[in-house]
Amino acid sequence: MSKNKLKNEKPESKKPKAPTPNPDVLKKDKEAEVKVKELVKDERTHKVMGVFFLLLSVYCFIAFTSYLFTWEDDQDKVFRYTTRELLIGDVKVDNLLGRLGAYVSHNFFYNGVGIAAYLFCYFFFIIGVNFIVGRRVFRVWRNIKYMIFGLLFISMAMAFVTNGADFPWGGALGNALDKWTSGFIGKTGTALLLLVAGFSWLIWKFNFDFKWPEKKVKPPKPVPVAPAAPATPAVAATAVPTPAATAATPETARGNALKGDSGVVVIPPHEEDPEEEIPMTLIEKDEEVTIIPAAHAAYVPPVTAPVPPPVASSEPGPGEEEEEEEEDPGPLLYVEDVEEELPPPPPPKKKNQPEEVAFEIKETFKDEEDEVEELATVRPVVSADPYDPSLDLRDYRYPGLDLLENHNADKVVVQDTGELEKNKNQIIDTLKNYDISIQKISATVGPTVTLYEIVPAAGVRISRIKNLEDDIALSLSALGIRIIAPIPGKGTIGIEVPNVKKSIVSLKALLASEKFQNSTMDLPIAIGKKIDNENFIADLAKMPHLLMAGATGQGKSVGINTLLVSLLYKKHPSQLKFVLVDPKKVELSLYKLIEKHFLAKLPGEEDAIITDTKKVIHTLNALCIEMDLRYDLLKEAGTRNIREYNAKFTQRRLNPQKGHRFLPFIVLVVDEFADLIMTAGKEVEMPIARLAQLARAVGIHLIIATQRPSVNIITGTIKANFPARVAFKVSSKIDSRTILDIGGAEQLIGQGDMLVSFNGELVRLQCAFVDTPEVESVAEFIGNQKGYPDAFLLPEYVDDKDSDGRELSLADRDPLFEEAAQVIVQTQQGSTSLLQRRMKLGYNRAGRLMDQLESAGIVGPNMGSKARDVLVKTESELQEILNDLL
Ligand SMILES: Nc1ncnc2c1ncn2[C@@H]1O[C@H](COP(=O)(O)OP(=O)(O)OP(=O)(O)O)[C@@H](O)[C@H]1O
């Protein structure tokens, strides 16, 4: 019911008591009241007020500044004449703003607060801006607090410092404060007091980090890798002469580097051989590369808003940003009526109150006091500012690209035109030997392989060329020939021939590319470069899971690092958590440094990186629980996926007291899946399959890698749920079929050469390269920053087998078990959120306690959104149960 209505009804209810009610008069009153209200609410009134306050601010500023120069002359006059004379007399003053200016300034400075009077100009200014803009660009109440502090501090400090000066630096207030304090605690005491107050304010405002230099965390030893020779081509590079000049002349070394990174070498068009009937075109499709300026160190953080955009009218204004920092960003700003299960209900209960309360979009400016009033009287009101999950680590800095290497990209790899020509001739000759003539041949030079595209002469059957794969490979005497017949959507036949000189695709170049920097994907991963040098950047959230296979030493670990590092470059710790499973124990150990920023782990675990199979089972099951919990949250919020849910949460339309929270994406990375399946079989397969089937909508994504892509490892269930698959070189065609459903991966040449099957397409890529020391420096950079107090905690999973046959003794339970039991029995409400509120617990711990209470027979089973039944009715009954547990 609106306030208006209430007020309008009032006179009617009093009507019979009124001596001679005159309906006309009443009506007029009513109308007048409504009109005044409307006028006060009218946007134009606010604008007029805004202009007034802005001008007042400017007026005071000019008057005060003029006073600084004219006070000596004017002071005497202001003293001598009465206010009346100053107002209507013809006293001449020097202040730029006349007698009023002199009078006002004198009172602000001399009788007031001295130089601190300028704070009033600022205050009038912010009020004016708020009125004009029509919303709270500046927080009034906070500014009033700062102002009061500022007036006291500045006036007193000025009076103290300029003691005895003619100019009223501290004003009457400052002098009085100074006098009293100096008398009370002496001059030195006053000085100390001022220093303490000044520093306290600075610390409060800027929250300096007084860190004692910590002992440097020793990063784990680099992963032993195959003899590193990133720049060394896999295929013998001896016989090929290097042409003297290259057409590429980048301006700077860095430019050079990137040019090299792009992997394309500019090859002058080949002169036509008179004997050749079929000319070859060289296709160059160099991806535009962003040149990293020398001082680019600061990586441009994601363009995408970390959270979905807030509603237009509640967006913070430019001036609010800094203000915002001080504000508790937490969702506790959410105000809603107390839940049903709250013990003795102090506020009136609202049964069946809708879960989410859409908050009003306030179109007109409301002063904070008004809001406070409204909070007290009206139904849930939500802070207008969207919740920003990243504010917990607001000083977090994204890693810069300077932490990554170019990997010899500054050495321009020269592609030998002779090699291209030779290969072309050999392809044509080989085909000719089998009576296959071709119309046209073109070449695209990629970082690792060159794609020769052939248009066969009319009437040639494609399958014939496909069958000649081995013969062509033999005649080209090269490993890793792959024939694509036909190239999907092109009507040509592709023959991929490895380059004698390969170029490394550095992850740095990929991350610097516009495509990555401007990506608006949820989980952008820079995988590598296509054969035509186009950057391949995909959204893991859309994939939605990734299966990776490759024989040992072919680039899997580098591939995983590439994916992880790409995500680290784009995501804030509040938006993403990794669950890292590393049975080999060494591959992912580097990421330990970012535990408090990006890792998730089981409660009570010491290491966030899981190496033990048993713990892997627990963790996978915990992830399944997290998934179920997230689904419950999504359901309660009436949303379909994590995006919608988080958007609603950040708009403060979901109540954290009901367990709602901002959901970070969770990426599970398993480095050696085969090992797990061998040791744990179904126990690992089932939760993985469940997660793969269901977890995408709730933001849980999997990256599973294996050395052995055999059918007993990558089972049908697993495969069916991993539509995106990556194969590095595998040892047999069968393995290739297992992973990609098609041969070809056995033909790859290793060192990051890969096939990606995604969206029904099979793409050959050169995986981006990032070396262990680079990963280390990125992890160190992040790890050295302030993180959360602990890793992100997954829900606890209690293995039935562990607890089978024995009840948990009290000692095995949560230390708060007894207290929780008492709360539940006293209030007779089996509600997890009640425990959360009463005992100030996190959602997970309260849930765990509730489970323990259930197993002790104190509460009944979970009943979805309803509170559980409390099975123990009296405290003495509870005491008996607790004694039994001892
Ligand atoms: N994308 C790449 N670009 C260039 N070289 C690469 C790339 N990926 C891997 N290499 C080279 O191959 C070597 C082996 O790679 P990596 O350690 O990733 O293999 P792996 O498949 O993980 O092996 P394992 O299974 O034994 O751990 C690296 O040390 C590196 O020299």
Residue type, 520: T
Ligand 1 atom nearest to CA at 502:
4
As beta bridge partners, residue 361 has none
Q: Ligand 1: distance of its center to the CA of 226 in Å?
A: 7
Environment class of residue 510 by beta-carbon count within 10 Å: exposed (0-12), middle (13-18) or buried (19+)?
buried
Give the pLDDT band of residue 599 (cuts 50, 70, 90).
very high
CB 417 within 8 A of CB 267: yes
Q: Which residues contact 751 (CB under 8 A, 6 or more apart)?
A: 230, 234, 448, 502, 554, 555
Q: Is the distance from the beta carbon of residue 556 to the nearest atom of ligand 1 less than 6 Å? A: yes
Highest mean pLDDT among 15-19, 131-135, 136-140, 786-790: 786-790
CATH for the stretch 800-885: 1.10.10.10
Q: How many CA atoms lie within 13 A of 388 on its CB side?
A: 21
H or E, element range at 39: helix 23-41
Give the residue, out of 558, 560, 563, with the most ligand 1 atoms within 8 A of its beta carbon, to mutate for a pocket test.
558
CA of 232 to the centre of ligand 1 (A): 13
Q: Could you identify the atom of ligand 1 that is nearest to the CA of residue 225?
A: 29
Q: What are the Cα distances from residue 284, in Å, to 279, 494, 508, 612?
A: 16, 16, 22, 49
Collapse the DSSP code of 442 into the 3-class scheme (helix H, G, I; strand E, B; otherwise coil) and give the result: strand
Average pLDDT over residues 619-628: 91
Ligand 1: nearest atom to the Cα of 551: 21
Of 261, 264, 258, the residue nearest 246 (C-alpha): 264
**Cβ atoms < 10 Å from Cβ of 405:** 19
555 lines ligand 1 (CB under 6 A): yes
Distance CA 331, CA 335 (A): 9
Domain boundaries, the chain: 43-206, 800-885
**Separation between Cα atoms, residue 841 and residue 566, nearest integer Å:** 35
How confident is the model over 171-214, as pLDDT tens digits?
889 888 888 988 888 888 988 988 998 888 888 777 666 666 55
Q: How many Å apart are CA 507 and CA 743, to the nearest integer?
A: 28
- Ligand 1 pocket member 751 (CB < 6 A): yes
CB 304 within 8 A of CB 520: yes
In this structure, of 140-154, 225-239, 663-677, 867-881, the range with the lowest mean pLDDT score is 225-239
- Which residue blocks in 681-771 are alpha helix, DSSP H? 682-694, 716-720, 733-740
List pLDDT tens digits, range 783-838.
Answer: 999 889 889 988 877 765 554 444 555 566 788 888 899 999 998 888 888 888 88
pLDDT tens per residue across span 624-655:
989 998 998 899 899 999 999 999 998 888 88
Q: Are 555 and 750 in contact (CB under 8 A)?
A: yes
Give the length of the chain.
Answer: 886
Q: Ligand 1 in contact with 332 (CB < 6 A)?
A: no
pTM: 0.55
- Going by alpha carbons, the residue nearest to atom 16 of ligand 1 is 555
Take residue 861 and report the two structure tokens written for it. Answer: 């089973």
How far apart CA 304 and CA 698 sit, in angstroms, is 20
Q: CB under 8 Å to 323, separation ≥6 — which residues?
A: 138, 139, 142
| C-alpha 437 to ligand 1 mean position (Å) | 40
Of 90-94, 248-252, 429-433, 504-508, the one with minimum mean pLDDT is: 248-252
Q: If you write DSSP's letter for every residue of 290-352 in order, what string do you get?
A: ----TT--S----SS-SSPPPPGGGPPPTTHHHHHHHS--SGGG---PPPTT-SS--SPP-TT
What is the structure's pLDDT at 8? 41
pLDDT single digits (tens) 518-563: 888 999 999 999 888 889 999 999 989 999 999 989 999 999 999 9
Atom of ligand 1 nearest to the CA of 707: 25
Residue 84: count of CB within 10 angstroms of its CB: 8
- Taking the C-alpha atoms of residue 288 and residue 763, their distance in angstroms, rounded to an integer, is 20
Q: What is the reported pLDDT for 580?
A: 94
Dihedral of the alpha carbons of 178, 182, 185, 188, in degrees to the nearest 10: 100
Q: What is the DSSP letter of 454?
A: E
Tens of pLDDT, residues 39-92: 777 778 888 989 999 999 999 999 999 988 888 778 777 777 777 776 777 778
Find the mean pLDDT for residues 268-274: 35
Q: Tell me if 283 sits within 8 A of 443, measured CB to CB.
A: yes
Whether ligand 1 lies within 6 angstroms of the CB of 504 is answered as yes
To test ligand 1's pocket by mutation, which of 499, 554, 565, 673 has the most ligand atoms within 8 angstroms of CB? 554
Four-point Cα dihedral 35, 40, 46, 47, nearest 10: 20
Q: Is the CB of 225 under 6 A from ligand 1?
A: yes
Q: Where residue 420 falls among pLDDT bands split at 50, 70, 90?
A: confident
Closest listed residue to residue 668, CA positions, set 627, 630, 709: 627
Closest CA to 411 of 231, 228, 229, 227: 231
**Distance from Cα 706 to the centre of ligand 1, integer Å:** 14
Q: Which amino acid is at 610?
A: I
CA 403 – ligand 1 centroid, Å? 20
Q: Which residues pair with 820 in a beta bridge?
A: none
pLDDT at 327: 39
Question: 145 pLDDT band (50/70/90 cuts)?
Answer: confident
E strand or H helix that includes residue 577: strand 576-581
The CB of 409 under 6 Å from ligand 1? The reply is no
Is the omega angle on the peptide bond into residue 498 within 30 degrees of 0, that is, cis?
no
pLDDT at 304 over 60: no
Q: Which tokens sit at 514?
A: 């516009």
End-to-end CA distance of the chain: 55
CA distance 322 to 318: 9
Beta strands in 412-505 (DSSP E): 438-445, 449-456, 482-484, 493-498
User: Are 727 and 547 spatial neighbours (Cβ–Cβ below 8 Å)?
Assistant: no
537 contacts 758 by C-beta, under 8 angstroms: no
Nearest CA to 107 out of 84, 149, 78 is that of 78
Strand partners, 484: 494
> CB of 415 closer than 6 A to ligand 1?
no
CA-562 nearest atom, ligand 1: 1
Q: What are phi and psi of 705, to 5 degrees?
A: -120, 145
Which pLDDT value is given to residue 548? 93
Q: Which of 605, 598, 604 is nearest to 783 (CA)?
A: 598
Residue that the structure tokens 């994504």 belong to:
701
pLDDT for res 213:
59
Q: Is the shortest distance between the CB of 552 and ligand 1 below 6 Å?
A: yes
Distance (Å, rounded) from C-alpha 356 to C-alpha 673?
41
Q: What single DSSP character describes residue 348?
A: P
Beta strands 700-706; 665-670: pairing state? parallel
d(CA 588, CA 705): 12
Euclidean distance between CA atoms 764 and 745, whole angstroms: 9
Ligand 1 pocket member 558 (CB < 6 A): yes
Say if residues 446 and 282 touch (Cβ distance below 8 Å): no
> Rounded distance, CA 466 to CA 447, Å?
24
| Per-residue pLDDT at 509 exceeds 80 | yes
Residue 498 corresponds to which tokens in the numbers above?
A: 């490895």
What is the chain's Cα-based Rg? 36
How many whole angstroms from 289 Cα to the centroid of ligand 1?
Answer: 25
335 residue type, one letter: V
Mean pLDDT along residues 465-491: 75
For residue 826, what are its two tokens?
């006293």
State the closest ligand 1 atom to the C-alpha of 584, by its place in the atom list counted from 1: 27
pLDDT at 645: 93
Ligand 1, atom 5, residue with closest C-alpha: 751
Q: CA 487, CA 483: separation in Å to the nearest integer?
A: 9
Query: Which ligand 1 atom sits closest to the C-alpha of 769?
Result: 1
228 Cα: distance to centroid of ligand 1 (angstroms): 9
Q: Which helix (H) or strand (E) holds 670?
A: strand 665-670
Q: Report the distance separating Cα 574 and Cα 664, nearest Å.
A: 6
Q: What does the mean pLDDT of the chain come to? A: 75
**Sequence ranges of the binding site for ATP:** 550-557
pLDDT cut 90: percent of the chain above it: 21
Ligand 1 close to Cβ of residue 134 (< 6 A)? no
Contact yes or no for 311/359 (Cβ under 8 A): no
